[in-house]
Structure 1
């Protein structure tokens, strides 16, 4: 009889040879000697270095791993392709230049098998070049969230943001709601949809994922095309969450305007951003206790053209 697969672990990489051995080694140790109940989907997208070779070498020593080489040059397409290869009850994602903590995935698999949530969200451990304090795994600190609380927490960006790395999602949800074919901000576009379709949501502020902030991500190297994708993702929040969350979503529009409003040409993007800010109801926004004072200042500055 086939072994029940609790977890599909998707690791995607593009020209990651400098970091990939550490990522793969961390994945092996995170599984803590687990002999069954998982699969590893390894994908190299349009890599021109030794990434594909390194993935193949890892898979040759691990019967649970499969390697795929694609030429999409598009993270949204890569993620959708990965989901098609998965057969586990849950999916989690790892970037090829990040790491996970020893023993963590073994613990989390046992938790998922026992509790069966729709969505398990975990805090990401952000690692900067100057970070010195080592992060250790102390187990999950799970607490249930209502859907409304999860949406508010996401919109405030307090405990978790629009990242699929480090999260555990029922595979059926990702199969039913594919990623957009975006080169970046694909997570931000889809995350609201996933929250809208989950009822049993668990959040653990203590997480297993080491998210290395190196400053060379696709979204950090901004241009007008990427701003367009960010605008599309933010507009999706309005469509998915509706007027109940309009003030919190407005904060995201204000952040875009503050960062890019002055540099954007008189384009459709700029018009959409300004139109959304102009739609903010002043009294409702300024008196809303959920809105931080800094965003209220940003709103007043935007209204006065500053």
Structure 2
């Protein structure tokens, strides 16, 4: 196996004295140098969160060897932890329906190399985005869906994820509600963009709901998918100021730009292992 050059460690555990000192001492003994480190203490729940990027000065250790060395510390503190090779990009499958603004933004950023993921394909319940996807020379998987075929279609989608060794499913305005079993299978690995500033205006037609309430700010929310519709842990949000003169159609157009920005950021934070789930919330160690 190849020796690692740079690793990312992220973990959460009960807050106790000595956690940082023991983690730092272990990696120092293995010849690693801390390049970036963030930590957070949830005082209310006495939960500690940490993300650290380490450079290897000892080039002989493999990722599995580093994980084995860290395991005793992880067990001592009861950590929920992950240790990753920073040079390995997450593989992403994107799902979309008929609106392509978020998809186009992701594909453009991926093609330019500014989004640090490996997009392995796009799946859709419509044919509308085929030409765009194939222009980017990516596989396009047309999987139509109906009430009677939902279970079969989701099984096909899971098979695509498995066949491509995809780490993450991104719902880029994929206008289908995933089943409870699908949500459980993809827990922590599926990101949705909701065209509203959650927890307000959930469900369908949020911009029309916002128009009816005369809002002065509209926004978008990227969150992990759970069985509770639009209730998953929030990763990223943004807002844009509007006024009473904006029509629902104008709010929709403004909102699309916000949606694209928010989904791009959320996928970036996830792919860089900057997001740690904290119950129904997240800790995001953004730059």
TM-score (norm 2): 0.31
More strand by share: 2
TM-score (norm 1): 0.29
